[in-house]
Amino acid sequence: MQLRVSVFSSIATLLALSVLICVHASNPMPATREEWEESTTTTYEITPATKTKKTSSTTKTKKNKKEKVKKEKKQKAKKGVPAAVDTRQLMADMYQHINAFGIPEHETKLIEERGGAPTYGEIKPESLATIFNDIGVTNKDVFYDLGSGSGKTVIQAYLEFPFKKVVGVELSEKRYNYALEVLQVLRQRDLVDPARPIEFILGDFAEVPFDGATVIYMCSTCYSNELMEKLAEKFSHLKKGLHVVSLKQIPNHASYGLELVKEYRLPMTWSGPEGSPVSIYKLTKPKKAKKKRA
């Protein structure tokens, strides 16, 4: 029995060797991986539906190579948070006991006085990720959330994207304190890199300077038009290229140097799958900074 097995395995080895020799003779081994990638004409791409699709052409291979390098660069740029951290699960754990909806009456009044609205809602994490991916966030970007609630967008931005700094501004002290609580947990877990600051400011965003901002988000659905224009005026003095993401359209945006670059609907906590409108603007014509009088 043992003899028969070893005879069979010897025949199989011989057959495999002769097939290898034939293949090698007709298709010599390239000297480098690059050479191999250049010579190959068949590539397999994984479609979003995870089916394998056969495509042919050297140009496609080159394109794939470029995309791979780009992806690697992007991943390298993401520093601070170890890849092994499941950020969505971590956020779900940290926010498990937090409910930012109810706030004291005096805070509601304060928000109304400043042109905001006492209603509360949050952007869904997958929607925020879509926006940041569309903008093409890099490690040179600084993020501000105007009306940051319990800080979810700021924390997500920090954990999942390579922002060099993230800031949340919130008028409700109760919500602001929730954000600080979560930040404390992040620090305890050693997930805050001092080289990439994360900051929460208690105050009215109309009065806070947006130092270094390159991406601003505002869940502005219920902000008054007056407040929107006041903010747009502030944005118009910031750095050229600034992206402003707003759920409510900015009235007279062009007069503040803001160009509408994208509009779509994305899911929010209060919307159905059809989502809520989102507008992305780019500051293409910033106003010159006002000179200070001596």
Ligand X SMILES: C[S@@+](CC[C@H](N)C(=O)[O-])C[C@H]1O[C@@H](n2cnc3c(N)ncnc32)[C@H](O)[C@@H]1O
Residues found near ligand X in the complex (CB under 6 A): 111, 114, 116, 120-123, 145, 147-149, 152-153, 169-172, 175, 204-206, 219
Ranked by CB distance to ligand X, the top (closest) residue is: 147
Q: Which residues are CB-contacts of 294 (< 8 A; sequence separation ≥ 6)?
A: none
CA distances 193 to 125, 152, 159, 162, Å, are 22, 18, 11, 12
* Residue among 191 and 228 whose Cβ is closer to ligand X: 228
Which distant-in-sequence residues (6+ apart) come within 8 Å of 148 by Cβ? 154, 168, 169, 170, 175, 176, 179, 200
DSSP for 51-108, written as a single string: -EEEEE-HHHHHHHHHHHHHHHHHHHH--SS-TT--HHHHHHHHTTT---S---HHHH
Q: Quick one: which H or E segment has residue 166?
A: strand 165-170
Closest contact distance (angstroms) between CB of 144 and ligand X is 10
Instruction: State the Cα–Cα distance between residues 258 and 267, nearest whole angstrom.
Output: 25
CB of 176 to ligand X, least distance (A): 9
Query: Closer to ligand X at the Cβ: 120 or 132?
Result: 120
CB of 107 to ligand X, least distance (A): 7
Minimum Å gap between C-beta 134 and ligand X is 17
Q: Least separation, in Å, of the C-beta of 105 and ligand X?
A: 13
DSSP state at residue 31:
S
Nearer to ligand X, 116 or 257 (CB): 116
Q: Which has the closest alpha carbon to 155: 119, 118, 181?
A: 181
Q: How far is the CB of 81 from ligand X (least distance, A)?
A: 20
Q: Compare residues 172 and 279 and give the one whose CB is closer to ligand X.
A: 172
Least distance in angstroms from the C-beta of 101 to ligand X: 10
Nearer to ligand X, 61 or 183 (CB): 183
Nearer residue to ligand X within complex by CB, 153 or 214 = 153
For the CA atoms of 126, 265, 139, 150, the dihedral, rounded to the nearest 10 degrees, stands at -60
Using the minimum distance from each CB to ligand X, give the nearer residue, 91 or 186.
91
Cross-strand pairs, 157: none
